[in-house]
Structure 1
Amino acid sequence: MTRTGAPRERDPNRLTWWDTTWRVATALFIGTVIWVSTAIVVFPEPDSDPQLLPGLWLVVVDPVLGLVATGLLLLRRRWPVGIAAATTAITAVSAVSVGAQTVVLASLATRQRWREIIPIGVLTTAAGLALTRFVYPDPEPLPPPVEAGFGVLVTGIVVAVGYSIGSRRALVRSWVDRARTAEAEQRARVAQAQTSERARIAREMHDVLAHRISLVTMHSGVLTYRQDLPEAERRDALAAIDSNARAALTDLREVLGVLRDPEGAGPLRPQSTLTDLPELVEGATSAGTPVTLEWRDVDAATVPETISRTAYRVVQEGLTNARKHAPGATVVITLAGRPGRELHLEVSNPRSVGVAPEVPASGLGLLGLAERIELSGGRMQHGWVGADEHRLCVWLPWPA
């Protein structure tokens, strides 16, 4: 399958062939107008014979120098000050080159650097006086101050136009930079959202499946290591494996169905809370894990739903870890607290007296649980107390 890449973004500082073409055409047009005007002023009588040297210079040398200046126009962005000085010097002896020098001067002004603009502007005025006073003298010249003032005015207009173009370019460049920054920030936000969503999916998959799979693993391990089990116990173990495997498959289909739904409108079973804790304890007990549940002045129905869901996951993870690492050991679950303070959960179990079966560890259980608890504003501690008891302690805020 052919993949079409995104269209390349045009660099606003790079000229296209059309941008170059119309600038060159403008320079030649202005130069031609100045050249014709100069010919009319210098040779007002068309029937008179012009002097050989001025005529030859106007007809041959001047256009050639104008073409040279137009060629230098193409290099103005590489050497802006040098090309501006060169074309200005040519205008002192060539009328056609005035067009190219005008475009170069406007281009130099777009850089908005007065230390470059002022010297070239003074040189432009001087070159104009040299052209009209010495190369093509006017039969009826204006007073030098007036002619110099006119040159300054024209130069100022060209500089003002170029300066305004530079300001507009700077504004457009700032818009482009802002757009690129906003696009980069949007990509960063999308990447962060994707990372958070992957972490959420990993936690949900672990929470949904780890408990069921640990039951399947424990019962299959019993069938593997205990060849002398009575037939009734074997059937019970097989039934537990079958029921938990089916439940895990149902849960997996449910989670994947929600993930595939682009609008998240798929049916999703409500997440378990502390009110479902007796059912969880009953399932763990029937699977062979003795569990003692102690409620110390805690009414599960009064715990806020968000905190209640997190507390349920804590107990579920504690039972799963106990079943993995201490099969057969008695698990004690204690819940205490009251509104306005904290909900305290403790899941403790002694070391296993037997050999724990090899159960693959994902490494995501306690990590995902810690993230979930931190998002809820709580804290968690876990580890061995002394040499014989493992405790998982969690404190969750319980608003009044």
Structure 2
Amino acid sequence: MTGPENAMAARQEYRWVLPSVLLGDGVEGRPVKRSTRDWIVDTLMFLFASGLTLLTVPDLSSVPAPLQVTEQVIGALACASVWLRRRWPVTLALAMALLSTSLILVGGAAAVASFTVAVHRPFKISGLVLLVNVLTLFPYAYLRPSPDLSYWGTFTLGAAISLAVFAWGVVVRARRQLVWSLRAQADSAAEQAKRLERERIAREMHDVLAHRLSMLSLHAGALEFRPDARPDDVARAAGAIRESAHQALQDLRGVIGVLRHAGGDEEVPDRPQPTLADVQTLAEESRRAGMDLTLTLPELGEVPEALGRNAYRIVQEALTNARKHAGGAPVTVTVSGGRSKGLTVEVRNPVGVRLGPRIPGAGAGLIGLTERAELAGGRLDHGPRINGDFVVKAWLPWTT
């Protein structure tokens, strides 16, 4: 792949992988870099786990005194382990689930760990962790039955709490994924708009500057191959070169001005665009450069602005190609059509006729013309014909 294609692929991969990384779908045990918000959330989670632990301290009255100290130490360590929930969420949740089979004071840390897994892991993992938590309720209800509830009452209450915590985590995860999805779509739409704007400006630069520079090359080539030309002819050619260079600089300033304007938030204005009536001026300019050009441009009435602009660009690029590849050959330009038929533009020149050096080109002119015609809803055909002519023929719909 080329450099731009690699960059775009990397941006697309980043756009879709980034939500998963931030949601914690990475590798277990990866390094954690907490933001300010993460520190606040983790502190609140630690306080939440500690608060739940303190609420369950009275339940230790039914536990023998030697085991109460063990419960308190493990409960404190369990609350402290909440700070590891981002790096080892699944491991922490499973450890808390196993400890909760017989210990009372790990319930707060177990709830936070279960919630973390539901938020940071897909259902195929978080669902299994939930199942482990529910299964641990069977021995817990047997070993630590509530004085006010039966065995099944204790199990049902614990299962309801586990399901509520899990559901809360799933809702948070779904909301985060929705937000990231909307952001990704917005970024994609912005990138698409920028790409289309760059392509529009690139087409504008190619259409304008390729024409101007080919005219410069044509006049310069005439001076090179006619060193014995009369002073009047040399002066006329030099004047044409100066005028073409001046016009090319003006066009370049206009395009650069649009690029500079594109940095603002306001809408980027279009440069003044040519119309179908300007084809006559284009033909006269080509004739002054020495091109043998025949133009058939009937009176078509009021032509839509976009249609006239596309027709002008097709003629301009076709004449530029004729100067590049068949300099000195006669060129025929025919424009015909109407409201009901659409507009047909045909540019024809003999193949294999070229006077003077060949002007280099990028080879993208006809491709750009085809894209322009298709974007306008029309079609373009180009290539050599049996009679030895090279023809560029486009049809464009006449839409108001």
Report the TM-score, using the length of structure 2 for normalisation: 0.76
Q: What amino acid is aligned across from residue 385 of structure 2 in structure 1?
A: V
CA separation of 1:264 and 1:216: change in aligned 2, threshold 3 A? farther
Residues 331-355 of structure 1: CA deviation (Å, up to 9, x unaligned): 1111222222222111001146454
Report the counterpart of residue 88 of structure 1 in structure 2: 101
Residue 305 of structure 1 deviates from its aligned partner by: 1.9
The Cα shift of 1:148 comes to: 7.7
**Aligned match of 2:51:** 26
Letter in 1 for 2:156: G
| Residue correspondences, number | 348
Change (3 A) 1:216 1:20: same
Partner of 1:291: 293
CA distance in 2, matches of 1:243, 1:380: 32
Counterpart Cα distance in 2 of 1:246 and 1:106 = 73
Q: Structure 2: which amino acid aligns with 1:175?
A: R
Contact kept? 1:76, 1:104, Cα under 8 Å: no
SS of 2:361's equivalent in the other structure is coil
Distance 2:319 2:169 in 1: 66
Q: Is 1:128 the equivalent of 2:141?
A: no
Residues 383 and 365 (structure 1 numbering): CA distance in 2 closer, same or farther, change over 3 Å?
Answer: same
Q: Structure 2 regions of 5+ residues with no counterpart? A: 1-17, 25-31, 33-37, 82-87, 119-125
CA distance in 2, matches of 1:63, 1:294: 103
Q: 1:82 to 1:276 in 2, by over 3 A?
A: closer
Larger Rg: 1
Deviation at 1:187, TM superposition (A): 2.0
Is 1:364 the counterpart of 2:392? The answer is no
What is the CA–CA distance in structure 2 between the aligned matches of 1:177 and 1:254, rounded to whole Å? 44
3-state secondary structure, aligned to 1:186: helix
User: Do the aligned residues in 1 keep the contact of 2:214 with 2:320 (CA within 8 Å)?
Assistant: yes
TM-score, length-scaled by structure 1: 0.76
User: How many Å apart are 1:221 and its aligned residue?
Assistant: 1.2
Distance 1:88 1:397, change over 3 A: same
Superposed, 1:125-164 pairs within 5 Å as 125-129=141-145, 147=147, 149-150=149-150, 152-164=152-164
Question: What is residue 62 of structure 1 aligned with on the other side?
Answer: 68
Secondary structure in structure 2 of the residue aligned to 1:228: coil
> Relative to 1, partners in 2 of residues 1:381 and 1:207: Cα closer, same or farther, differing over 3 Å?
same
1:47 is matched with which residue? Answer: none
Residues 117 and 209 (structure 1), Cα distance of their counterparts in 2 relative to 1, 3 Å cut: same
| Matches of 2:349 and 2:56, distance apart in 1 | 97
CA distance in 1 between counterparts of 2:386 and 2:304 reads 34
Distance 1:152 1:102 in 2: 21
Q: Which amino acid aligns with 1:238?
A: A
The Cα offsets for residues 272-312 of structure 1, whole Å up to 9 and x where unpaired, read as 111122111111111100111124xx433332221111111
Distance 2:89 2:329 in 1: 85
CA contact (8 A) 2:211 2:320 kept: yes
Residues in 1 aligned to 2:162 and 2:295: alpha-carbon distance in whole angstroms: 83
2:35 aligns with none
Q: Is the 8 A contact 1:322 1:349 kept in 2?
A: yes
CA RMSD of aligned residues (A): 3.1
State, as a whole percentage, how many aligned pairs show the same letter: 30
Gaps of 5+ in 1: 1-7, 40-56, 92-97, 133-146
